[in-house]
Structure formats: structure tokens, C-alpha cells
Structure 1
Amino acid sequence: MTHLASRTQEVCALLADGSTVRLRPACPEDRGRVLRLYEEMSAENLRSRFFAASRRSGEQAADRLCAPPGPGHRTLVALHGDRLVGVAEYETVGDPASAEIALAVADDFHHRGVGTLLLEHLVNTARENGIAVFTADVLADNHLIHKVLADLGLRVTRQFDGTTVRGTIRLAPDERYLSAVDIRARTADTASMQPLLRPRSVAVIGAGTRPGSVGRAILHNLRETHFAGLLYAVNPHAHAVLRVPAHPCVADLPRPPDLAVIAVPAAAVPAAAVQCGEAGVRALVVVTSGLDAEQSAALTTACRRWDMRMVGPNCLGIANTEEQVRMDATFAVTRPLPGTAGVAVQSGGVGIALLDGLSRLGIGISSFVSLGDKRDVSSNDLLQWWESDGRTDLALLHLESFGNPRAFSRTARRVARGMPLLTVDAGRSEAGRRAAASHTAAAATPTMTRGALFSQAGIIATRTLGELLDTAALLHSQPLPAGERVAVVSNAGGAGVLAADVCVDAGLAVPELPPDLVGELLALLPGGAGAQNPVDTTPAASARAVSECVHRLAESGTVDGVLVALVPTAPATAVGTDPVTALTGRAPTARTGTPVVAVRLDQAERVRLLPTDDGRTVPSYGEPQSAARALLHAAERARWLDRPQGGVADPEGVDSSGARALVDAFLTGEPAGGWLDARATDQLLARYGIPRLRQECAVTEEEAVGAAARLAGPGGGAVLKAQGPGLVHKSERGAVLLDLHGEQQVRAAYRDLRGRLGPAMSEVLVQPMAAPGTELLAGVVQDEVFGALVLFGLGGTTSELLADHAARLAPLTDTDIRELLTAPRCAALLHGHRGTGPADIGALEDVLARLSRMADDLPELAEAECNPVIARPDGVTAVDARVRLLPRRAHDPYLRRLP
């Protein structure tokens, strides 16, 4: 392996202390570095590595490790800057599925996570090469390595033999392993973000003297918010900027700053980053836009080379309102109000709008990061920061792209258990969607894909920024509703009816109240009031009466939330009573735990928070639609929190190795990939135990007649389906002929297909007529960014036209499967409709679990569609199926590495 080839496989990752190392395969040029690693080791550590304090052992190891890799031998090295600080290797001996490992780390890099990180990447490489077991011989008193192996998260067994211990490590990453990786990732991530979000010193590079310059505006904001640390300006043409002493370059600063904000022209950004790295800067915020690909790559390389985390480029900046930090390193006009909402955006304009909205509501922010082009720091980093910063209890995201959606989803699922995560579902259009060859691929729109991610991760996805702030206001101030039942209370009948209508339109329920509760409410209200729901208090009702009605409803257990629609009326005005005092005298939620929201049709603002006498707040909306959507989002969050987290479905009777062999054989013959023929498709589905209709392939008319007789049986109907490379949508080509009885009909059908399709038909697929049932679609499609999705919904020839489908990201948990079955509108058909019996739900769940396993096993699976799947009370059957394979390598989305 050449040095250049090793470089192309280089990845960067974070150590436990937040510093960055580069990992790559070893190459011959590394011999001197590896030898130096062993030469600088203490005698004790040499003994632990080689079982003897021999310098000669180090030379032999360097020779072996840096030789070109042979079959069954791989070596990874870790570099910090230009220094090699760790090396790990495996080598198979006899059994190709088992390998012996060895690990060495520089003395001064112990306890920083180098060995664990190398092992994680070595495990990934080994699994890609078919290795299932690692073995390691370790001295019994080498407690450090014993702890590394034990904490890895994989199943380890030990066998003692005198002074040595032989450890056996099973390379089957499960939830325990992924959770251990999560903990290590969170520790490393938050440590690396400290210089960025809690810097003790900041330098603004490009702080201009000209009013209106971006660098000057950032320096101004840092001064005006009284940044708690040391503040520097870098400008070679000035002695001071805004009364902050200026220095010609970073190297001239009195001490290296933790954070540098770069606001220089694009062409100068890479050099500025290099200067920061050489000076010892720990983090960068690059607000400059317009960097080309070469400049962006040089910027990222500098950050990795000198161990710096970076926000941007092309961003608005960052802020942290903690009292011990007080940092506003943005060029926004709005000053961020201290608070508890974490905000991460890609668009600077969206960031300004959210800063303004959260400040106006009084929620404020804990920290704000404008991610820009996301060359390094991403939403994943911010989620882990907010999870552990001790301040954030609400997170708002605006994401235009996802670098690693599966890692983001896993992190979000965990973080969302502790705080609400809200996002604007930006980019919902299908512009730029690639052409899809199957109904399944066509159904997997960007909207559906993102919806699957958000739904599984527990992220509240709104359609607009206004809706995002509406929901944030409710979640910040009110408890979660236990369900979707809402009581509407109004002092004007028309307003109550309008509010009830929009609640139902949003997906909430407005139930009729029980008679005893109706009686209680009417006893509180003046004559002419109505209390069936909506509750019409009439304009004559006092604020106290309205307040008591709200309390009774909230305490009744009959509803899960109360919406109070108020309008100013002449009777209230005449006695100087503001109806809003019905909600602000004391918070209705203080005793009941039931959310209460207000709608004030005379309110100019879209949403505001009304303070109550006991120090709480009640959200007040200018439109009932805003209140209804916010209540629905809150109910959906409560439902997500209550659902079981579930475990990944693991169906029995799966032949993964047989499926792998089939895929490898096909791609060997078709290196560019393509559609499997009917025989291979049937064989692949059989490997996963997916129930299929019996079938035979026939090339000649006589073969078709014989197959029909065998499959249909006496009196039964047969089906002929033309097969050929271009016959994907068969029904559109008239390539499917149904319900053929007897030899003559089968012969006539075969001749018809042959005559119309000619050379396009290579053979026919013969099947018996399927028993009637509900026609469904179940399939898999690989999204280039999000990975494999499992789709389910209405099937048959109108599947794509009616577009009644839902999707979830694979691998599916049992909870995901249950939700996927109920998500499409056609789900009601599964319980029986107009005389048809209910479908076998258990069998449908099993099919989805098997498709999920197939998608997880086979990254080459570009598309797989079972359509229709006939669902009946006695089981399910895939009547037609097609599979397309493409040459793809497996990619572990949870392997720790930086972008």
C-alpha cells in the first residue's frame, strides 16, 4: 500500500479530552514513526506490549506493522499532528473469521481514549472483511488493557493461563456496544466544544475600522454584551478597533486565544486558519462566505492538522448567554436574551428571526450557533452539548441538509427524552428528486424520508418558523397534554365555533362533555350560556366565572387541554374588566397538569406569553389555528414519550450468508448492478422467509401450459407475467394476463404476449391466481443520504397514483413496525371493511421485520418492492416482487469520525 493510498483512507476523530487525531492504515513510510513510538516507551509499557522489555521487539514490530497489508492483516495508526501516538493491528492465523490483535499507545497519551478509538475502527475494518472474533493475549497485571477491552462494549470472555490472559472478543455490535460508543462520543464532543462555546479569550481576525464591516460588528457585539473573557482584535492596519487593542496577526497576541472569529476575504481564510493553528488557537468561527472547494478543503485540513473545532464557513456566528461567558460573537442586530432554548440554524436569516422571536417571547437562548456550510460542527455536536450544558431545556433546529442522518437520529432519540426538539421541515419539495424505477422508489419522496427521521427520533417538525415559535411557546410554559381531547371555552359563540372547527381540522378532538360536568359549568355561568363543548360563557360572564370554568374543565379528566378564545366585549369594558384576567389571576395548570392556551382575536402578535400572578405564563395566540397546531404538536410529543422505545426486530429463519452469496454472485456477473430476474428475486426473498406466491418460469409455450396445470390445479385460474430486462412496470405494458382457465386460454395468452412484446419478453412467470384480500405495498429503497427506508401502504396498480404510503428508517424496531402499519390512510382496511375480514396483523409485522433485516444486511439493495402483498385473515402473500442491486459498500453510520 502506498503512502498516498493510506492518506485517501484517512479519517479524523475526537479523543476523550476533545483533541483530534487522524486515523489511517499504516504504510511503509510510517516505519520510523512506529519505531520512535516504541523507543520512547517506558520499560514497563514495553513489557506490557511484548511481554519483555526488549527494544529489538519494537524494531521487529515496526517492520511487520508497516509492511504492505497481506491477506488477513491490517494495521491502523493514530497521529496527533505529525506525531504517531498509537497503533493497532489484527492478523488472522488459520481461521479466516478470527484474528489476533495487538495495541500500543504512546506513554503520554494513555487515558485519552486513543486505544479505544483505534479498536473501534479496527473492529469496523475487520467486520468488513468477514472477521467475527478478535483474540488478544494480555499480561494478567496489564490492568490498563483489560479495562480498555472491558469498556469497549463488546462481549469479552477471558481464559487465564499463568501470568497471561487470553481474551476473546465477539465482533457483533449490539445496543450495548452502540450505547458505549454514544457515551464516549458525547464525552469527546462536549470536551471539544468547550473552547468554542465557553472560551476564556476571543480574537476577531478581520476586525475592520470601517463602519459596517462584519468583523467590526462582531467585535462591537462582544464588547456590548461584556464578554467575560479576554478580547483581542487582529488588524495589521490599526492600533485599536472600537477601543480594543489591535495586533497585526494572531502570532503577535499576548497569548493564544481559545477562539478566533475569522472575518477576512475568502482568499485569505485558509492562511488565517493556518496561522491560528500554529499559534495554538483551539476553535474557529468562520463567518466569511464565498469559499471555493479548494479553499474550503484547505480550511478543513488546517482545523484537523492543528486540533481546532470550527463553525462555518458562511455563518452568522455564535453566542452563549451563560453569565460566566456572556458571548455574542455574531453580527446580528438583535441581542440574544439569556434563557433556556438552544438554537442551531444553517441560514443566518432564520437565525436572526429565531433570536428575535425567542427574545420577544421572553424564552431567550442558552446558546446559539449558525452552522453555515457545516464543514465541521453540526447539529449532532450541538445536541450533545445541550444535553450536558445544564441550562438548555428546549432545542430549536433549522437544517437544510444532513451529513449523517442516522447518527443524528440516534442522538436525537436520546436527547428528545429529556427535552423537546423542534425543527422547521425545510426542503419539502421534490425538486431534484432522482428518477425512480419502481413504485417504492417513487413513493420515497424527500418529505416522506425526512418525516420518517423526525417521527422516529421524536423531533417536532413544523411547516413554518411561526409555527415553530408557536409550539416553543406552549412547550416552554405548559405541561404536555395526556391526549388530543380539547375543550373550547369562549365568551363569544362565533369565536368558540371557529376555534372548535380549527381544532378538528388540525387533528384534535372536541368531545361532547358529560351531563354532570355540563351542569357544573352552567351553574357558574349567566343565563343563556352553553356548555356542551364548545363552552359559550356569553359576554356577560365575569372573569372569575370564566376562570372557574377553565379550572373545572382542566380538573375534570374529560379533556386533555383547554383552549380559551377571548374577545373584548362591551359588558366587560363597561365594568373595567379585561377577560384575559380569567387566565392570569392564577395559572390553571398549577394544580391540574392540563395545558391551557388562550386565543385573543384582537391580539396583534402571532403569539405571546401572558404572565400570571403566581409567576407562570400562559401562551396567547392571535389565531385559533396557531393554538390548535401547537396543542397537536404537544400531544404528539407526549405520545412519543409514552411509547415503548422497542428493540430492533430480529425475525427467525433468516439466511443472511446465503443472501450475501446470491448478491455477490449477481454483482460479479453484473458489475454495474441491475434488476434481478424472477428466479433470483424469489430466491432472495426466500432467504429472508418472506411469503411468496408459488411460481415457475417458462421459456416456451409448452412449458407455460405445463406450469399452469401444476400451479393452478383442476378448475383453478393461472396468471402469466412477461419477463424481460425492460419490463419493470408490467401492467403498463399489458404484460400481465389474469385468471386463465384451461390449456387453450394459457396458450392464447402466451401467444398474445409473445406477439405483442417480441424480443422484449425473454420468458413468462406462471403463478396461480391469488386469493382475494387487501392489496398492499411493502418495500425498501436506499436513499443516498438517509440510507435504507422501509415503505408500507396501499398497493396494486394505483399505488403510485393514490400515494398512500408511509416510511421508517431501517433497521426497524418493533415499535417502528407497529407505527408503520398504522400510519397510511389505508390502515383502517386492515381491520376489515364491507364484509372483508381483518388482515393478519402479525403476519404483516413479520414481513416488515424481514424486509428491514434484508435492507440492513445488504447495502447493495437499491430497491425491493413487494406489490401487491395480499393481506387476508389467514396470512399474507407477496404476489409480485422485484429487486434492484447496485455495487455499494457497507457504511457504519455510528463509527466515530469527524466530517
Structure 2
Amino acid sequence: MTDALGRPSIHALLADGTTVRIRAVEPEDHDQLHRLYEEMSPENLRMRFFAVSPHSAALAADHACEPPRSGHRALVAELRGRIIGLAEYDEGEERGSAELAVAVADRLHHHGVGTLLIEHLASAARADGLTCFVADALSENREVLRLFTDLGLRVTHRTDGPETRCTIALDQDDTYLEAVENRGRTADVASMEPLFRPRTVAVVGAGRRPGSVGRAVLRHLRTGDFTGRLFAVNPHAHALLGVPSYPAVTALPVPPDLVVIATPAAAVPSVAEDSGKAGAHALVVVSAGLDPAQAQALLTACRTHGMRLVGPNCLGVANTDPALRMDATFAAAHPSRGTAGIAVQSGGVGIALLDGLSRLGIGVSTFASLGDKYDVSGNDLLQWWENDGVTDLALLHLESFGNPRAFSRTARRVTRRMPLLTVDAGRTDAGRRAAASHSAAAATGTLTRQALFTQAGITATRSIGELLETAALFHAQPLPAGNKVAVVTNAGGAGVLAADACVEAGLLLPAPTPELVQDLLAVLPDGAAVGNPVDVTAAVTEDELRDCLDRLTTHRGVGAVVVALVPTAVAAATGDDLARAVTQGPGRRRIPVVLVRLEQDVPVRLLPAGEGGAIPSYAEPHAAARALAHAARRTAWLARPPGTRRTPDGIDTRRAHALADGWLTAHPDGGWLGPRTCAELLKCYGIPQSPWAWAETEDDAVRAAERLGGPDGRVVLKAYWPGLVHKSAQRAVHLDLRGESQVRGAYRDLRTRFAGLMSGAVVQPLAERGTELLAGVVQDQVFGPLVVFGLGGTATEVFADRAARLAPLTDLDVHDLITSPRCAPLLFGSAGSDPVDLDGLEQLLHRLSRMSEDLPQLAEADFNPVLATSGGLMVLDARARLLPCRPQDPYLRRLR
């Protein structure tokens, strides 16, 4: 079966977490649709049809089940094989508009059925080029009027007597996306209650053999004092580890909320099906090695019976809430209670993080090993932590992203409430190949992943050790007030190491002000050097060091303090504990203070401090500096406004769709657009292009040169044939041509050298001097469109001076693109030159972003060079490649 766009049917969540199936109406649905209307109350029938007629139900079912025709689409919501709702539209006479109708089973009002159906129908309508729905309702029908208003789309009402006509604009602006996110979050969290707060858990595959995974999970649940009801499923035992055992899930005395499956791969699908029949709401599949048929059968069982799924090939899940105490994992030890949420794909990484957080004393709120991630993903966990009331620090180790754009929007929201840390895994080709083979993850490019992390405010570390070092700082200390750091030490060498580490991490070590120098000298021993680092000498006492830190942490020019201490005989002789001066300051300090002790035997530990706080203590100055640099970047990210998407004017999306569809019809395998089609595409998005003409003969070229050459008559001649990409590298360009003889000679040269290839040439006026830039887009198979910007011209590959951000771009993303490359000073005016047209450059990037969003068929586009001057911008050379691709709305609510 397929949905309204010809794709497989989609499963999605209602407001209460129930799974429903959204699909296109089929002729065989007629009887069910007829029954849907017949079972409505007379009052609801009157609201739906404006009058009660014995023929209304049959006529409505007939209309919905009509053979497919242009301008009509109908979707149904199906719950366990029964249709519970219908939404359909019919295009009207007004271009871009369609009449909307919705019907929901009486017993499922207020569950979000109608809203979900309209979201999916609106997505189909946008793909069809529609811009609005219109719907008529009785003015007294407050429920349906509220339904339209609460969608988050722009709705206008016009009342005429007893009826109200609603016009619903279909634009996906931020208000609508936020409304969809809020509905999705409510449904998502509700669906995961049985997974993370189950009242009843059954473990299938717990054997008598001590070394079995299922037995280890059962033991953890039992020894962890799980507060709910616990069962084993084993046909050969009445009890295991003191836990009652039953021969099958369907034989359990009560329906289980959660079933943990640890059987051989071949048995997983049948156990999943039995679990669904027994009324289970969630599965954790630790089993590995499922083949494609087994994997599909497992997922089908979950979708059919509305069960959320973690895994397969995972370590399990845990929730340390004392009211639950659920440890459904086979890790070496129980996780300690705490406030850090963990989601990993690798079980080994999960064990390392559980151990590290427990050792640090941070502890864990909720843990999920996602494994092959058939269903529950990092996005689900972010929404759970956002709403659990416990988690204040999120740690992710993800080797793949199921829906990066939805993940990015969720992460941007969540990370404003809590730090979100990850390991940037798969930075190399070898690492990406390993990730793909290890967790069935799609390989993703470093540039795209870094763009995602940067835009979403995610703190990306390069190792598990760095992740734990940074988590310790985020958990224990306030964020720094900027990136200015003061280093304090009792040994010059340790201070030098700390200072180098801070600068190499991107932090600043400003010289202290004269006032601060005098303030510090007043409390430090003779011989102290008050620079940055501040060398307090080996003679410093505990009280003197504490006074020094008090003055530094209250000074507005200092954002953080690194204290590098080494043990000395002087302090030992006086009984002074210099570390205590750091940890026992007068209450919590305004800015972070971190300790570096070179003799420390572990990379990082948290030392208890006053008022229940803690001070991170590092064995190595680079670890402390990296953690502070991550914290400073978070400070800067939080200080930025969220950014807004701009909608450029003069865009003809409908024409662009028609152009792409028409070209792909003629070229089913896709490929590079010819100059004419490419120019038409840019014209749809208002992207300025240099004047040009097409020439297939010498005479054509001469006439074009006479027309385009301008006052001095100078032109450029570029050869063209399908598949030509790098013209300069092929020497397929002649520059600065003047007069008929030069134009004819250049054309003859190209035709001779590229005989059998060249289908014609492009003639353009020679451009004025300016800054040559590159702007382009690449459609990543996982992340979606990536907009790239940087230095252009023939040297673009040599210097590789470019930045990238994922579409859709906000105004801040565009600002970052323009300011990040090393060539940025050229754009803002340097060495007395005028700045380029920055407004025009911003417009170009916004229009390119919009093009990439509108056209999933756009595999890549390359504008190089883009000539930027103070007077404007002009694309001198543009290439675009289309590939057949079904449109997919990245923000549409659906399960994986």
C-alpha cells in the first residue's frame, strides 16, 4: 500500500501515544467508510453534512473511494485494521486552492486524529503545488473551527449566516513547525511511558545457563529491586532466579507494559507478534543478527500492535527513578542514580559512559542503548528528557541520524534548557565505514555532521574521555562569562602548561588590569608574579590562595579560572591544603573554577565543594582547557537569538516543480541540466545571472558577442556538452575576446578540440573585477540539503576555504556562512576596498536554501564563480544536477 504521494503507508502517533496507520484511500475501504459515517451520532452527522440525510453516508463513502483523479486526494487513519478517520481535498476553480473535508469516529474525538490527518494531507497538497485549503463549517461547530485554528497554520474566517468559511494557508512557517513539534512531543512522550516507566516487565530468553544475556537482564532487574511486577518467559522453567516463569508471553497473567527479548534472531519476530497479541506496549530487543526478513517482520509486529521498539542489537534500557528502579540491561553494574540522560548506539560506549558517570558521582536518570535503531531514536530520548523533570544533562553517542532536520529542531530547543553533549564519531572514512557496518548506519560526511552540531548548539567532543571531562564541568560549575581565562599556579612550569593549553583550545588569557594587580598583590606572598598566569609561588598559604581566587572570580574581566597546583614540601610542612582553598571558597562562585593536579591518578574527578557543589579536578591541563572552551562556546550559543527563516519574494515554486518534473520525465536517470534549463531554474528563484546567449555555430557566437559585448565588446566563450563539469580544467573557456576574428577563432578552437562532444557554447560579456565566490548546495542522503559558501574561482579546490550549514537557513545561519571562511575580510572591505553587496549576498544564500528545500530532486548545485562587488552580485557560471527523488516532508509526523 502507498500513501497520497505514492510512498509506503506511514505510521504515526496520536496524542495519547497510540500508533495509527495513515494511508491513501482504496476502493476496498468503501464499506468501512460507510460504517464510519453511519456510526456517527445524528448531531455529528448534522455538523459534518449541515443536514441529516439517509443518503449522506453512502454518498460520502462513494466520493472518497472514487478512482484516482487529478485534484482529489483522500487519506484514512487506521487503528488495528479499522478506519477511524478520513481527510480529503478536491481542487477548486481557484488556482492553488482545494476544498477540505474531515471526519473522525465519534469515540476518538480529542485524540488528535483529525489534526494528524490534516497534517499529512497538507503535506501532500504542498507537493501538488497547492497553497491553501478552504473548508465550510457551521458557525456553531466550535470543535472543527478550533481544529483548524489550532493547526498552527494561518487561518482566516468569513462568516455568512449560519456558515463560516475557513481559508487555511499551507505555508510551513516557524509557527506551524512549532505547533507540529509540540503535538509530536506530547504524543512521543506518551508512547514511551511503557518503555521507561513500565509497571510490568517480562524477559523472554532468560535461560538456566549463567552466561546467557537474557538471564543477565533478568538478574539486573531483580537485584536492582525493580518496583513493578517481573516475569520470565521460558517454556522449560516455572521460576528463574526467584522470578515466576511462563511458557509464552501470551500465557502471562497480566498484559506486560514492556517485553525484553533476548532470544536467537530467528525467534524474535514470533515473540514480538505474541507480545503484541498479549497487550504489550513496548519492546527492548537485545538480540542481534536479524536478517532483512526478520527485521521487517519485527517492525511490522510493532507497528501493527502499536509497540515502541528499542534495538535490536542493544544493551537495554534503565531508569534510576527510586519509584521504579528499572535496570533492564546486561551492563557490568547497576547505574547510579543521577541527572544525566544517556542515549548510545554502541553498547560498549554505553558501558563506558555508565561507569564514568557513576565514578564521577553525576549518575544517570535514564539510559537507552539504541542499537540498530529501528524505531526509538535520539530524537525520542531528547523529548523524553525534556519532559521527565529529572534530567539536566544529555549525553549522546549516535552513529546515524534517522531524521536529521527533525533532530536539529528538537536539539535546538532542548539544548537551550540543558547541555547536550556528543562524541563526533565517524570523522574519518575508516570511522564512517566502521559505523555503517557496526550499527547499519548510513555514512555521513564530517562537514554535514559538524554543521548539524553547530546549528543545534550541540557540544561535540572527539572522544569518550573528552565527553566525560566536559560533562563534569557542565554538571558542577556555572557557564563561563565569555572566553577570558585567568590561570593561577603555585609552580611556574605548571602555569606555562596550563596557559598553552588554554590558548590552543581557543581561550584568551588577558593581562590583568592595574587595579586587579594591586588587589592581588595585597593578599599574595612576596615574590608572587601577578600576570596571566598568576604565579602565587610555592610559599602561598591556603588562606592567601583562597583570597586570590575570591578576587579573581569577582572581577568582571575574568570569565573562568584554571588553578594548576603541584604538591610541595612547603605546603606539607605548614599543614596547608591548597586544593581545599579551591573547593571551600565562600559559597558558590559566579564563574567556573577548575583545578589541574598533575599528580592526579585519574583523568577527571569531582571534588566536593561548599554548599553541595563540586569542583572538577583534571590530571592534565589540556583536558581542563578543552572543557572550558566547550563551555565558553555554549555561553556564546545561548546568548544568540534563535534566528528566523526569511521568505524571499519573487519565488515561483510551482514553476520550479514543473520544470524539474518535466526535465526528469525526459531524462529518467537524471543528470546535469543544460544551460537553458539551468537558467530557467535560477530565474524561478530570482537568482541574478550574467547575461548570456547560446551559440551552435561561429555565426551564432559572433552575433551574440556583438549583442552582449558592451562598450568595449569583450566577451567570454565557454564550451558546453552534457556532463562537462570543470570547464577551466578542460581548457574549455576562452576569456577576453574582442572582435569578430577572435570570437570566430575561439569557437573554431573549441569545436576542433572537442569534436564529437561539444553541442554548443555559451557567450557572456566579460565580467568586471570583483571578489569571486562559491555558493552551492549538496543533497546529503541522510541530512538533507547542505548549503556551502566560500572562496570561488579556479582556486576554490586548492584553498578549500568554505563553510557549510544545513538548510533551511535562518538569518543567523547566513551570517555564519558569510563570516566563517578565511576570505570574509574581503567581503567586508579590507585594505581600503569597498565592502561587497552584503544584502545581495544574504539574499542569494536564502534563495539557494529555499531552492534546496523545494526541490529534493536537486542533487547538487554549484554557482562558481559568483562575482561580488559593491554594486551587486552576479552568478557567472551555474550548474545543477537533478536526480529522480520522491519528495519527503522532513517535518511530517511519522514513525521510522
TM range (shorter): over 0.9
For residue 674 of structure 2, what is the aligned residue in structure 1? 677
- Say whether residues 1:802 and 2:799 are aligned partners: yes
Residue 208 of structure 1 pairs with residue 207 of structure 2: yes
Q: Structure 1 CA distance, aligned partners of 2:176 and 2:430?
A: 39
Give the aligned partner of residue 546 of structure 2: 547
Query: What is the 5 A alignment of 1:351-500?
Result: 351-430=350-429, 446-500=445-499
Alignment counterpart, residue 842 of structure 1, candidates 839, 842, 858: 839
How many residue pairs get aligned? The number is 887
Report the counterpart of residue 599 of structure 1 in structure 2.
596
Residue 433 of structure 1: how far off its partner (Å): 9.2
What amino acid sits opposite 1:477 in the alignment?
A
Q: Structure 1 residue 287: deviation in Å? A: 0.6
Tell me if structure 2 keeps the 8 A contact 1:7–1:24.
no
1:758-837 alignment, distance < 5 Å: 758-834=755-831, 836-837=833-834
Name the structure 2 match of 1:343.
Answer: 342
Matches within 5 A, 1:261-276: 261-276=260-275
Separation in structure 2 between the aligned mates of residue 582 and residue 289 of structure 1, nearest angstrom: 52
The aligned residue for residue 523 of structure 1 is 522
Against the structure 1 CA distance between its residues 546 and 774, is the aligned structure 2 distance closer, same or farther, given a 3 Å change threshold?
farther
Residue identity in the other structure for 2:233? V
Which 10-residue stretch deviates more, 7-16 or 403-412? Answer: 7-16
Deviation string, structure 1 residues 675-730 (Cα, Å, up to 9, x no partner): 12223323332332323333333222333334334434454643222211232101
> 1:760 is paired with a residue of what secondary structure?
coil
CA pair 431-834 structure 1, distance change in 2 beyond 3 A: farther
Aligned-partner Cα distance in 2 for 1:759–1:88: 55
**Closer, same or farther: CA 721–177 of 1 in aligned 2, 3 Å:** same
The one-letter amino acid paired with 1:804 is D
Task: Kindly indicate whether residue 83 of structure 2 is the aligned counterpart of residue 106 of structure 1.
Answer: no
Alignment check: 8 A CA contact 2:689 2:876 kept: yes
Q: How far apart are 1:831 and its partner, in Å?
A: 3.2
Change (3 A) 1:636 1:3: closer
Residues 560-603 of structure 1 show CA distances to partners (whole Å, capped at 9, x for unaligned) of 11111111122112223232112111267x24x21111111111
2:862 counterpart residue number: 865
Q: Which sections of structure 1, spanning at least 5 residues, go unmatched? A: 435-443
Letter aligned with residue 662 of structure 1: L
Contact kept, 8 Å, 1:727 with 1:760, in 2: the verdict is no
The alignment partner of 1:495 has SS state of helix
Q: Assess if the C-alpha contact under 8 Å between 2:705 and 2:713 holds in 1.
A: no
In the alignment, which residue of structure 1 is the partner of 2:641? Answer: 644
Q: Is the 8 A contact 2:4 2:124 kept in 1?
A: no
- CA offset at residue 875 of structure 1? 2.9
* 1:212 CA displacement: 1.2
Equivalents in 1 of 2:136, 2:772: separation in Å? 58
Alignment partner, residue 314 of structure 1: 313
Question: Do the aligned partners of 1:738 and 1:769 also contact (CA within 8 Å) in 2?
Answer: yes
Correspondence for 2:153: 154
Q: Distance in 2 between matches of 1:820 and 1:413?
A: 18
Letter in 1 for 2:89: Y
Q: Show the 5 A alignment for 1:52-201.
A: 52-95=51-94, 97-201=96-200
Deviation of 1:747 (Å): 3.5
Closer, same or farther: CA 114–658 of 1 in aligned 2, 3 Å = closer
Q: Shift in Å at residue 431 of structure 1?
A: 5.7
Distance 1:41 1:762 in 2: 66
Show the counterpart of 1:697.
694
1:486 to partner: Cα distance: 1.0
Alignment-derived partner of residue 42 in structure 1? 41
CA apart distance, 1:454:
0.9
> Once structures 1 and 2 are overlaid, which stretch shifts more, 5-14 or 629-638?
5-14
More moved, 491-500 vs 59-68: 59-68
Query: Matches of 1:432 and 1:666 in 2, distance apart?
Result: 38
Offset at 1:250?
1.4
**SS of the counterpart of 2:773?**
strand
Structure 1 match to 2:882? 885
Cα RMSD of the aligned pairs, angstroms, is 2.2
Q: CA deviation at 1:147?
A: 1.9
* Conserved 8 A contact 2:3-2:24: no
Is the Cα–Cα contact under 8 Å of residues 153 and 177 in structure 1 kept in the other structure? yes
Cα distance in 2 for partners of 1:3, 1:869 equals 43
Return the alpha-carbon distance in structure 2 between the equivalents of residues 277 and 432 of structure 1: 37
Aligned mates of 1:649, 1:241 — CA distance in 2: 62
User: Is residue 616 of structure 2 the alignment partner of residue 613 of structure 1?
Assistant: no
Q: Aligned pair in 2 of structure 1 residues 384, 540: CA closer, same or farther (>3 Å)?
A: same
Amino acid at match of 2:139: A
- Could you tell which deviates more after superposition, 666-675 or 235-244? 666-675
Structure 1 distance, partners of 2:526, 2:457, is 46
Contact 2:4/2:74 (<8 A) preserved = no
For 1:209 and 1:8, how far apart are their aligned partners in 2? 46
- TM-score scaled by length of structure 1: 0.95
| Bigger mean CA offset, 188-197 vs 799-808 | 799-808
Deviations 1:375-405 (A, max 9, x none): 1111111111111110011111111111111
CA distance in 1, matches of 2:139, 2:37: 21
Shift of residue 417, structure 1, vs aligned partner:
1.2
Give ranges in structure 2 of 5+ residues lacking alignment. 434-442
Shift of 1:835: 5.1
Q: 1:5 to 1:209 in 2, by over 3 A?
A: farther
* Amino acid in structure 2 at the alignment position of 1:469: L
| Corresponding position of 1:441 | none
Structure 1 residues 20 and 54, CA gap change in structure 2 (3 angstroms): same
Give the match for residue 33 of structure 1: 32
User: Closer, same or farther in 2 for the Cα pair 1:355/1:671, shift >3 Å?
Assistant: same
SS state at 2:179 partner: helix
Letter in 2 for 1:480: L
| CA contact 2:22–2:76 (8 Å) conserved in 1 | yes
Structure-2 change in CA distance of 1:61 and 1:689 (3 Å) = closer
210-219 or 29-38, larger mean C-alpha shift: 29-38
Which amino acid in 2 is paired with 1:868?
Answer: P
Letter in 1 for 2:812: T
State whether structure 2 residue 727 is matched by structure 1 residue 730.
Answer: yes
CA contact (8 A) 1:487 1:533 kept: yes
Q: Which residue number in structure 2 is paired with residue 568 of structure 1?
A: 567
Distance 1:663 1:265 in 2: 48
Q: Which residue of structure 1 lines up, in the alignment, with residue 619 of structure 2?
A: 622
Residue 439 (structure 1) aligns with: none
SS in 1 for 2:764: strand
Secondary structure at the aligned position of 1:343 is classed as strand
1:610 partner SS: strand
Mapped contact 1:649–1:849 kept (Cα < 8 A):
yes
Distance of 2:581 and 2:148 partners within structure 1: 63
Q: 1:833 deviation in Å?
A: 4.1
Q: Which amino acid aligns with 1:264?
A: T
Shift of 1:475: 0.8
1:583 partner SS: helix
Pairwise CA distance, 1:467 = 1.0
Which amino acid counterpart does residue 421 of structure 1 have in structure 2?
L
**What is residue 250 of structure 1 aligned with on the other side?**
249
Deviates more, 1:98-107 or 1:158-167: 158-167
- Of stretches 243-252 and 399-408 in structure 1, the one that deviates more from structure 2 is 243-252
* Distance (Å, rounded) in 1 between the aligned partners of 2:202 and 2:726: 62
What is the CA distance between 1:828 and its match in structure 2? Answer: 3.0
1: CA distance, partners of 2:681 / 2:572: 75
> Aligned runs of 1:300-311 on 2, under 5 Å?
300-311=299-310
Give the superposition deviation at 1:132.
2.4
Residue 826 of structure 1: CA displacement?
A: 2.4
Give yes or no for the alignment of 1:707 onto 2:716. Answer: no
> Secondary structure of 1:516's partner?
helix
Give the letter aligned to residue 611 of structure 2: D
CA contact (8 A) 1:726 1:760 kept: no
